[in-house]
Amino acid sequence: MRIGTWLIATMLTVEWLNAQSAAQILDQTARTYSQMRSLRVQSRLTFSMRSSGQMGQMTTTTNANQLAMAMRPNLLRLETTEQGQLASGGKIRCDGKKLYIENAWLQQTLHKPAPKSLRELYTQQNLAEAGYMMLGLDPVYLMAWGDWRKMATSPRLLRRERVANRETYKIQVNLQVSGELLMPGMRVTQTVWIGVKDRLIWKSEIVISSSQAGNRITMRFTETFTRQEVNPNIQQSAFAYKLPEGFKLVESFEMPNLAGEVDRLKGQPAPDFTLKDLQGKEVRLADYKGKVVVLNIFAHWCGPCRAEAPELEKDIWRAFRHKDVVVLGVATWAHDNPSKRAQEFAKEFKLTFPVLVDAQNSVATQYKVQGVPTTFVIDKEGIIREVIVGADVERLKKTVETLLKPAADGGAL
> Which of 73-82, 182-191, 215-224, 276-285 is predicted with the least confidence, judged by mean pLDDT?
182-191
Choosing among 1.10.3470.10, 3.40.190.10, 3.40.50.300, 2.50.20.10, the CATH entry for 36-250 is 2.50.20.10
d(CA 28, CA 192): 14
Q: Which tops the pLDDT comparison, 396 or 8?
A: 396
Quick check: helix, strand or coil at residue 304?
Answer: helix
**CA angle at 15 for the pair 11 and 16, rounded to the nearest 5°:** 115
Q: Is 270 helix (H, G, I), strand (E, B) or coil?
A: coil
Percent of the chain whose pLDDT exceeds 70: 85
* Residue 379 φ/ψ region, left for φ over 0, alpha for ψ in the -120 to 50 degree band, beta for the rest: beta
Please report, for the chain, the start and end positions of each structural domain, with discontinuous segments joined by +.
36-250, 260-409
Residues 290, 38: Cα–Cα separation, whole Å: 68
Model confidence over 166-201: pLDDT tens digits? Answer: 999 999 999 986 544 445 567 899 999 999 999 999
pLDDT of residue 110 exceeding 50, the answer is yes
Average pLDDT of the residues in 223-244: 96
Residue 177 is predicted with a pLDDT of 67
Q: Please pick, among 305, 330, 342, 378, the residue that the annotation labels catalytic.
A: 305
User: Is the model's pLDDT at 77 over the cut of 60?
Assistant: yes
DSSP designation for 269 = B
* Superfamily name and number for 260-409: Glutaredoxin (3.40.30.10)
**What's the confidence (pLDDT) of residue 1?**
45
Residues 18-61 pLDDT 10s? 556 999 999 999 999 999 999 999 999 998 888 776 545 667 78
The CA-based diameter of the chain, rounded to the nearest angstrom, is 88
Angle at 211 between CA 375 and CA 173, to 5 degrees: 125
Please state, in angstroms and rounded to a whole number, the distance separating the CA atoms of residues 324 and 290.
Answer: 8
254 vs 279, more confident = 279
Q: In terms of DSSP bridges, do strands 108-113 and 85-95 run parallel, antiparallel, or are they unpaired?
A: unpaired
Which residue would you say has higher pLDDT here, 124 or 83? 124
Residue 305 annotated as catalytic: yes
